[in-house]
Structure 1
Amino acid sequence: MSTAAVTDKRHSTLRAASLPRWTPWAIAAGSLVLGIGISMAAGLDSQVQWGLIAAVLFVLGTFGVAARVEGRRQAKDRVATSLVWVAFLLAVVPLVSLIWVTVVRGVKVLDVYFLTHSMGVVADTEPGGGIYHAIIGSLEQVGLATLIGAPIGVLTAIYLVEYGRGRLAKAVTFFVDVMTGIPSIVAGLFILSLMLIFEMQPFGFAGSLALAILMMPVVVRSTEEMLKLVPNELREASLALGVPKWRTILKVVLPTSVGGITTGIMLAVARIAGETAPVLLLVFGNPFINNNPFEGAQASLPLYIYQQFANSAGSGAAFDRAWAASLTLIAFVMILNLVARGIARWKAPKTGR
């Protein structure tokens, strides 16, 4: 037998059948139809159950078809890919559903009047009123918490990465890990205990202090990871030129990681923007406009949503206002993230060609 014949025979044994590109879509469509049929035959009314059954059928169908045509080895690869897609859909579908329901129900009363008026003397069961007082309260409370928590968190992360050695650094790391898992109600109770000692009445800045406590560990962890990603060669090059370490951190390390640091701070802000328990304990809520966070009770968007929904009995004007305020809070967090991305791109170090 010639060498060319042996080579052709070897190549022919290495070739394997391959499924068309549209096969996953066909299997998914068939699994969906079959899953709905099985669910209806079994008397299952929940669409979540339909989706789970269709997902299981999709994974099993993918393995069966791929194993028969392409072999068990390639089938395992396709099953892994299918599991990734199923996990992706399980994460995306609830998120899209949440946003869709919030938009549909929130636009009923969301207008300029709703955004520029407070509840005032409007009862929760009556139509009218707005969230202007809650927007002011949220902006002031979250803003003050950010002014307190972000610098402390960033400086703590700089200490842990650049200077931290020995027992003190280990102790700080341990307490940061503990604070990361602290429930928000515990932070509120801590500030409330201090208020009771000094006989203080509810006011907006007290809520800011509790929110800052919740914000700091998130900022520390995210900033710490971003600082660790900065190559040591940059630090060593700066120090070799005789630049002091503090100036190296200020001019080299921080500008290199400013994008990630900003993103981490915005994630922390997004977390505290929706906290209700500390605000309920410390700020107490106020239907009127209070521009001074250092005196008197104050409103906030999460507390407003809770109060309106609690007094709505699942319908009515208060129910619509709760959904409209929820949509406003989601838009507020989304705008913060867009601003953070813009700042990160603007402040990112420019690389020449």
Structure 2
Amino acid sequence: MDAATTLAPLAGRVRRGRRVADRTLRIGCTLATVIGAVVLGSILLMLIVQGLRGFTPALFTQPTPGPGSEGGGIANAILGSLVLTAIGIAVATPVGVMAGTYLAEYGRTSRLADVIRFLNDILLSAPSILIGLFVYTLMVRPMGSYSGWAGGVALAIIAVPVIVRTTEDMLRLVPGQLREAGAALGAPPSVVITSVTWRAASAGIVTGIILALARIAGETAPLLFTALNNNSWFSANLMGGVANLPVMIYQFALSPYPNWQGLAWAGALLITATILALSIVARLVIKPQRSR
């Protein structure tokens, strides 16, 4: 009896075990995917059904009504959210891109870069309410008032680690030959970074900024301690409470007034649709760059 004949039953048992394991894993993954899709679909369906009921022209033209009032809209909250998000992204984007560039191009394996990565990971996973408390202590208490500036800074702190991580990862994916080609032409490192590596990784960097924008668009906890909310238009200096969609949704959803609850559903649907639209636009912008 040769060795092949002796090992044939063992090989059959091994193959059978692998087939069973493969089938079990496939069934488990499919079941988990179906459950996730059903849960997500149910949430989206409920959001669409409830939110569309409140979509009226007044929703985008009138400020939020007082307690127990009928009608009204969320125009002041929409404008306030746009302003706060714009401040947060405007502050976070240059800081995050430059920090990510340092980690990928200059720091690399240095001790300082390791410390920055460690702190960035802490910020990335830190509860947003702690960031709100930090900004409250840093800005709101010394200024003696809630403000849109404090809300924008809180959102910027949340967005920075996302941009830093994505920028570093995208720049590390750029082939080293591109950098060497730029250096061979006599270009200094700064020119190579701005003209070669940034352009090569622009699609990924933009994606990181979009992810950061999506992260801060629905943040509620930090705004409760910084910008708070109000039922009227905010002042030009952004001092005092600034109306915004996340806090408005939180407060109106917990209220006993049906009108406020309907506006909360409409606001939640608006935020979801806005993030979806930004993702689609980002893909349309990035796609031509990838095909070059």
TM-score w.r.t. length of structure 2:
0.89
Tell me, in whole angstroms, the C-alpha distance in 1 between the residues paired with 2:186 and 2:220.
Answer: 50
* Superimposed CA distance per residue, residues 42-86 of structure 1 (whole angstroms, 9 cap, x where no aligned partner): xxxxxxxxxxxxxxxxxxxxxxxxx9xx95543332222222212
2:196 is aligned with 1:238: no
Alignment of structure 1 residues 33-44 onto 2, 5 Å: none
Shift of 1:330: 0.5
Aligned-pair identity (%): 37
Counterpart pick for 1:146 among 76, 89, 105: 89
* Superimposed CA distance per residue, residues 220-254 of structure 1 (whole angstroms, 9 cap, x where no aligned partner): 11111111111111111211121211111111111
Counterpart pick for 2:68 among 125, 137, 141: 125
Runs of 4 or more above 4 Å deviation: none
Paired residue type of 1:144: I
2:55 is aligned with 1:110: yes
Tell me, in whole angstroms, the C-alpha distance in 1 between the residues paired with 2:20 and 2:117.
Answer: 45
Tell me, in whole angstroms, the C-alpha distance in 1 between the residues paired with 2:165 and 2:121.
Answer: 9
The equivalent residue for 1:229 is 173
TM-score w.r.t. length of structure 1:
0.75
* Superimposed CA distance per residue, residues 129-172 of structure 1 (whole angstroms, 9 cap, x where no aligned partner): 11100100000000110000111001000000100052221221
Shift of 1:90: 2.7
Q: Secondary structure at the match of 2:242?
A: coil
| Larger relative contact order (Cα-Cα within 8 Å, sequence gap ≥ 6) | 2
Larger Rg: 1
Shift of 1:291: 5.7
RMSD: 2.0
Distance change in 2, residues 1:136/1:293 (3 Å):
farther
Q: Secondary structure at the match of 2:225?
A: helix
The equivalent residue for 2:218 is 274
Task: Answer whether contact 2:167 2:208 (CA < 8 A) is retained.
Answer: yes
2:31 is aligned with 1:86: yes
Tell me, in whole angstroms, the C-alpha distance in 2 between the residues paired with 1:253 and 1:200.
Answer: 45
The equivalent residue for 1:33 is none
Paired residue type of 1:118: P
Paired residue type of 1:132: A
Distance change in 2, residues 1:197/1:284 (3 Å):
closer
Counterpart pick for 2:80 among 137, 152, 169: 137
The equivalent residue for 1:99 is 44
2:263 is aligned with 1:305: no
Paired residue type of 1:306: Y
Distance change in 2, residues 1:253/1:296 (3 Å):
same
Distance change in 2, residues 1:291/1:102 (3 Å):
farther
Shift of 1:93: 1.8
Tell me, in whole angstroms, the C-alpha distance in 2 between the residues paired with 1:76 and 1:182.
Answer: 38
Task: Answer whether contact 2:66 2:231 (CA < 8 A) is retained.
Answer: no
Distance change in 2, residues 1:262/1:293 (3 Å):
farther
Instruction: Mark the runs of 5 or more structure 2 residues left unpaired by the alignment.
Output: 1-7
The equivalent residue for 1:160 is 103
Q: Secondary structure at the match of 1:288?
A: coil
Counterpart pick for 1:206 among 150, 153, 156: 150
Instruction: Mark the runs of 5 or more structure 1 residues left unpaired by the alignment.
Output: 1-12, 14-66
Counterpart pick for 2:198 among 230, 236, 254: 254
Q: Secondary structure at the match of 1:282?
A: coil
Tell me, in whole angstroms, the C-alpha distance in 2 between the residues paired with 1:327 and 1:146.
Answer: 22
Comparing 286-295 with 303-312, greater Cα deviation is found at 286-295
